């Protein structure tokens, strides 16, 4: 149903996109503002970026967040791929309904509940078996794997549902071992979903405030926690600069991933 | 039927077991613990709650639940959450539907780019997107300065720290989640149906109401179900944009835990949210969308 857009529709779309991007644009523009007052324009300046780079607290928190996101996204990729695979390929097995509910549960569960319940589990486990000893990076990683694998499995399952299984069957008929079929056929075909799923889990982990606040201990402060405590005190030009850097990093990552996905697609089609 | 890979019994077990065991331990068991601690009492100890079984006696009590039922703060916060989430879901639909419809109607070569433009904000930090609105809505923020400069108002409008700001934050943050299922439903719609409606004498507005809208209903339902529960449990938006009259249940849970350090009452709030909100919505979703969500 392509065709010309009516003026009404075009206006609604313009407004919709303005609504989506206006706030983000204002943050970027005012990160280059010379004034400390965030809403009064006083000329172009990069002073807040300098101040940001000198801020040890933010740098440490960024490193912690990055480390957590790398581990969480990788764990979520492995477990989420297995879960998506199981849901797409095994139409019946004992406990499948429960499994499907558990996999997609974290997507709709309010974060405060996920965070509180995981914290109480960690406390109970520590009492019972002495692990995890205290809370910090490892417990946040476990929490973020649980959240991220839900997103990975949805993406992988959708990809598996849409691809032609006769390719796998042909390879098998031609004498390839199951391991070889996976490496030569299945893996390249679901590679775009794996890239997208990993990135999704990575950005979710990097961004999470609520679940990390519940599951952390005194040892680990993540970037969103620093941003949140600063934002609660009001708008600050340093946070605008930090937000701009984060936006650029995410945009670059998406473009690179998009290119990688396009390349795998064209090579898989060949 | 030709042989299919990945179907051996042990291979299946190796695929299913790791994620199943992980989710059972880190997503299912925790709810049992939340339930258990909601029946305990706050205590000055580490961890800060009383044991359920001491000296061979079961010490479970429903005191926390009776407390939640007796203090109107909790009922009000719960009602607020549903009220805000319901209207914000409608708001998402009102803005998201024309957006999704426009993308489907746009020339083919623009379609992917437009869709990407909708998804992109979803990849950027939630916290920062909410934060951006503080700079726009506050008394000396961009919107008020603009209105003052063109002389439309003479004193800044109260846009921040009230329910208006919470609605804006909720709609803004959850809009991409609404547009995607709407787009998926509208894209599947066969244009032949609209041509047939036109041939049979339907005006475009009639065709929209009698063909497009009913056929996109699954997308509307899917989008609404996707955004409603997370909106109800939202903490960041009411905390940063809301005021004294916008208390929401997710915020109450946070305060009980972090401010009052009352883990048992926080757990009871979580159980109440699960029983009164998450489970009914989950069942509704199953009922409306069939077995697969």
pLDDT in tens, B173-196: 999 999 999 999 998 888 888 888
Put simply, the answer to whether A224 touches B125 (Cβ < 8 Å) is yes
CA distance B82 to B278: 12
A128-153 burial: b if 16+ Cβ within 10 Å, else e = eeeebeebbbbbbbbbbbbbbbbbbb
Residue B1 pLDDT class (50, 70, 90 cuts): very low
Q: Which of A114, A119, A116, A150 is nearest to A136 (CA)?
A: A119
- Structural domains of chain A, count: 1
> How high is the ipTM of this complex?
0.90
Inside any domain, residue A2: no
Q: How far is CA A220 from CA A53, A61, B80, B127, in A?
A: 20, 8, 34, 19
Indicate yes or no: CB of B98 within 8 angstroms of CB of A104. no
Q: Which residues contact A173 (CB under 8 A, 6 or more apart)?
A: B2, B3
The whole-angstrom distance between B114's CA and the closest CA on chain A is 9
Tell me the shortest Cα–Cα distance from B254 to chain A, in angstroms.
7
The contacts of residue B264 (CB under 8 Å, 6+ apart) are B37, B38, B39, B40, B41, B42, B49, B64
pLDDT given for residue B292 in this prediction = 45
- Which strand (E) or helix (H) includes residue A3? none
Determine what percent of chain B is predicted with pLDDT higher than 70.
94
Query: What CATH number is associated with residue A119?
Result: 1.10.3720.10
> Which single residue is written with the structure tokens 């009383």?
B50
pLDDT at residue B2, as a whole number: 44
Q: Do B19 and A80 touch (CB under 8 A)?
A: yes
Note the pLDDT of residue A3.
54
B10 reaches A (C-beta below 8 A)? no
CB-CB under 8 Å, B107 with A120: no
Q: Which of residues 123-152 of A touch B (CB under 8 A)?
A: 123-124, 127, 142-143, 145-146, 149
Q: What is the pLDDT of residue B283?
A: 87
Q: With contact defined as beta carbons under 8 Å apart, do A183 and A199 qualify?
A: no
> What was the pLDDT predicted at B293?
40
In a domain, A67, yes or no: yes
Give the DSSP H/E element, type plus range, for residue A212: helix A210-215
**pLDDT confidence band for B264 (50 / 70 / 90):** very high
B282 in contact with chain A, both atoms CB, cutoff 8 A: yes
Share of chain B above pLDDT 90, in %: 54
Does residue A258 fall inside a structural domain?
A: yes
A133 in any annotated domain = yes
pLDDT of residue B112: 84
Q: A63-83: per-residue pLDDT in tens?
A: 999 999 999 999 999 999 999
Q: In the CATH hierarchy, which top-level class contains the domain B72-289?
A: mainly alpha
**Where residue B167 falls among pLDDT bands split at 50, 70, 90?**
very high
Domain ranges of chain B: 17-61, 72-289
pLDDT at A131: 83
Question: What are the DSSP E strand ranges found in A32-112?
Answer: none
Residues with Cβ within 8 Å of B67's Cβ and at least 6 positions away in sequence, in order, are B265, B268
- Is residue A207 included in any domain, yes or no? yes
* Residue A212 is assigned to a structural domain of this protein: yes
The residues of chain A scoring below 70 in pLDDT are: 1-4, 38-39, 264-270
Question: Pick from B7, B8, B17: which is nearest to A89 by CA?
Answer: B7
Q: What is the mean pLDDT of chain B?
A: 88
- Could you say which residues from 160 to 179 on chain B have a Cβ atom under 8 Å away from some Cβ of chain A? 172, 175-176
Q: For residue A80, is it within any domain?
A: yes
Domain assignment present for residue A85? The answer is yes
**Residues paired with residue B58 on neighbouring β-strands, in sequence order:** B53
Q: Is the pLDDT of residue B106 over 50?
A: yes
Domain coverage including residue A87: 56-269
> A243: which DSSP letter?
H
From CA A103, how far away is CA A93, in angstroms rounded?
15
Residue pLDDT, tens place only, B12-65 = 888 899 999 999 999 999 999 999 999 988 877 778 887 776 666 677 788 899
Q: Chain B residue with minimal CA distance to A152? A: B19
Would you call B20 exposed, middle or buried from its count of C-beta atoms within 10 A (0-12, 13-18, 19+)?
A: buried
């Amino acid at each position: 149903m392509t065709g010309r857009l009516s003026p009404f529709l075009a206006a609604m779309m313009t407004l919709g996109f303005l609504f989506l991007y206006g706030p983000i644009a204002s943050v970027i523009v005012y990160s280059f503002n010379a004034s400390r007052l965030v809403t009064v324009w006083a000329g172009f300046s990069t002073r807040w970026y300098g101040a940001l780079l000198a801020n040890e607290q933010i740098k440490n928190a960024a490193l912690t967040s990055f480390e957590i996101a790398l581990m969480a996204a990788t764990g979520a990729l492995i477990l989420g791929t297995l879960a998506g695979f199981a849901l797409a390929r095994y139409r019946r097995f004992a406990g499948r309904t429960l499994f499907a509910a558990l996999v997609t549960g974290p997507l709709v569960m309010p974060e405060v509940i996920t965070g509180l319940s995981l914290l109480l589990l960690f406390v109970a486990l520590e009492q019972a078996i002495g692990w995890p000893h205290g809370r910090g990076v490892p417990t946040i990683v476990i929490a973020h794997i649980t959240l991220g694998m839900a997103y990975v499995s949805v993406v992988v399952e959708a990809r598996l549902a849409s691809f032609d299984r006769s390719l796998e069957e042909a390879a098998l008929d031609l004498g390839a071992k199951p391991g070889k079929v996976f490496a030569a056929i299945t893996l390249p075909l679901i590679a775009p979903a794996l890239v997208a799923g990993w990135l999704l889990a990575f950005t979710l982990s990097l961004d999470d405030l609520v679940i990390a606040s519940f599951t952390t201990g005194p040892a680990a402060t993540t970037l969103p926690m620093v941003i949140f405590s600063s934002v609660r005190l009001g708008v600050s030009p340093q946070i605008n600069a930090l937000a701009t850097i984060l936006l650029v990093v995410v945009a670059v990552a998406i473009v690179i991933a998009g290119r990688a996905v396009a390349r795998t697609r064209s090579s898989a089609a060949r | 039927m030709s042989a299919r890979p990945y179907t051996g019994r042990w291979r299946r077990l190796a695929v299913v077991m790791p994620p199943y065991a992980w989710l059972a331990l880190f997503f299912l068991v925790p709810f049992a613990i939340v339930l258990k601690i909601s029946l305990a009492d706050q205590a000055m100890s580490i961890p800060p709650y009383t044991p359920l079984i001491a000296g061979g006696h079961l010490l479970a009590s429903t005191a926390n639940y009776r407390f939640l039922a007796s203090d109107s703060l909790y009922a009000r916060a719960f009602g607020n959450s549903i009220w805000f989430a319901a209207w914000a879901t409608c708001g998402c639909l009102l803005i998201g539907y024309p957006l999704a419809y426009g993308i489907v109607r746009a020339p083919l070569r623009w379609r992917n780019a437009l869709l990407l433009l909708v998804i992109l904000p979803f990849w950027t930090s939630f916290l920062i997107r909410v934060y951006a609105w503080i700079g726009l809505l506050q008394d000396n923020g961009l919107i008020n300065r603009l209105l003052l400069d063109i002389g439309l108002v003479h004193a800044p409008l109260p846009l921040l720290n009230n329910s208006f700001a919470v609605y804006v934050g909720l709609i803004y943050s959850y809009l991409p989640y609404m547009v995607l299922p709407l787009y998926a439903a509208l894209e599947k719609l066969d244009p032949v149906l609209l041509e047939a409606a036109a041939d049979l004498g339907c005006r475009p507005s009639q065709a929209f109401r009698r063909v497009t809208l009913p056929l996109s209903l699954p997308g509307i339902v899917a989008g609404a179900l996707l955004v409603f529960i997370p909106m109800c449990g939202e903490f960041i938006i009411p905390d940063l944009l809301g005021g004294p009259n916008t208390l929401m249940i997710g915020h109450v849970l946070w305060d009980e835990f972090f401010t009052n350090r009352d883990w048992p009452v926080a757990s009871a709030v979580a159980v109440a949210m699960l029983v009164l909100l998450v489970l009914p919505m989950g069942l509704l979703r199953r009922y409306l969308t069939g077995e697969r969500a």
